[in-house]
Each structure stands twice: as C-alpha cells, then as structure tokens.
Amino acid sequence: MSYDYKLKGSERMKKLISAKAVEALGKQGQKVICIDKDTIITPSAKDVAAEYGIEFKSGTYEASGTCTENKACCTNDGGIDREVIYNAVKALVEKGMLGSLLSKLGEDVAYVSEGDANLKLVRGNTAKWEVLDTGNPADKVFYNELVTANDGSKMNAGFITIEKCEFPWECACQELYYVIEGTLTIESNGKVYTGHSGDCFFFQNGAKLKFGSPDKVKAFYATH
C-alpha cells in the first residue's frame, strides 16, 4: 500500500501513498486507508481514491485489519485537523506571537480581530504600525488605527508612539489621548503641558498644537 523513505537528516520514516498502491487496494474492494502524521499522499493517489470511493482516515491498523480512527492527528486528506489549526492560532494570538508570524510570512494584515454585530475585539499586540507623516522623515512617529468608519463607527481610535521628537499638529476634529507609558508633551499657545502614564488630553477641533516626547510615549487616541 505504501512506500517508506527517510527524509535527509531525519530518523523518522515517511510513508508515501502512490496512485498505483491505491488502485491495487481499490481493486481488492478496500474502502478505507489508514494514515498518520507521517503519511504523504500524492495528488494522483487522491484522484484514484476518489474514483474507487476510498476514504483516508487518521488512525492505526488493528490486528483484524480495521482502521481505528484518531481524530486528534490528521484529517481524512492527510492534512492537519482543523481543530488543531484553530488551537494553534488561538495560542499564538493569546501569546501575542501571531502578528510577528504574519509579518515574517509577508502577509499584509493590519491586525487580528474577532467579534460579532455588537462588538469588535482587536488583539492590540498583533496590530501593524504605520509611519505617521509629520513632514520630517527623521521623526519617529508611528500609529495603528483599530476603529474606523468601516466598522460603522462615528469615531476613529488606535495607538500612537512618539520617540524623541516634536512636530506641529492641527486638529481636524475633537481628539482625546490617554497616555499609556512614557511622556507626552503638548505645546498650546506658547505653553507646554506634560502628560505621564495615566494622564489624558482632550483637544478641540481646530486646535493648533505641537506634539512631542523627550523619551518615548505610547498613547491611545480617539477622534470624533
């Protein structure tokens, strides 16, 4: 039914199921082929299996020749079980590792979120940071917008970081900033106001300000 070969640099034997092997079993009237995580099924073998009505099942052969299914390992097509994939992705999200993984894979994903018609939960540690154009390429200012009009919201919200720089800012709407960590300085009418972790700024529409930070600040913002 299968051919064994050893992967280079590995002691684990892989089982390759070919179209010829499946055809032989089909002619014998076999309807189930047992596989495990070390089984590789060729595309042509899958086609032949479909022709003969043969099903691939994850499990092990008993002495009687029957296949005892093991749903925790693989799917019927030799792939990884969907529940295994779900649990793996869930663990990555909870540990804050999914964002970096997607980035390494080159995926253009702004962030990972979930929810329903009533709410949206954004995993902040998966959010992709964008450069905020301050007019000075040397400025280190980044943001990620997590709530927009696309969510049916009348406000926008997200996070912003500013590192050791200053830049002018004119508010095009009402804006609120909550300082999460670091120091946020705001200059208004010639006076500098300094906010620290736990402090909150509110700006009126049309306000002409200067944003800055002597260190690195991270803040949550909402605009309306």
Q: Which residues touch 26 (CB under 8 Å, ≥6 apart)?
A: 48, 49, 51, 52, 54
Asked if the structure places residue 1 within a domain, the reply is no
Residues 175 and 198 in one domain: yes
Question: For 122-153, how does the pLDDT look when each residue is reduced to its tens digit (9 = 90+)?
Answer: 887 888 889 999 999 999 999 999 888 888 88
2 found inside a domain: no
Residue 11 has pLDDT above 70, yes or no: no
- Helices marked H in 71-214 — which ranges? 82-94, 98-104
For residue 92, what are the domain limits? 83-124
Nearest residue to 215 via CA among 156, 158, 140: 140
In a domain, 108, yes or no: yes
What digits encode the pLDDT tens for the residues 78-89? 455 555 666 677
Find residue 41's DSSP bridge partners: 17
How many domains does the chain divide into? 3
Does one domain contain both 31 and 115? no
**SS3 state at 66:** coil
| In a shared domain, residues 139 and 208 | yes
Confidence (pLDDT) at 19: 84
Pairing status of strand 67-69 against strand 120-123: unpaired
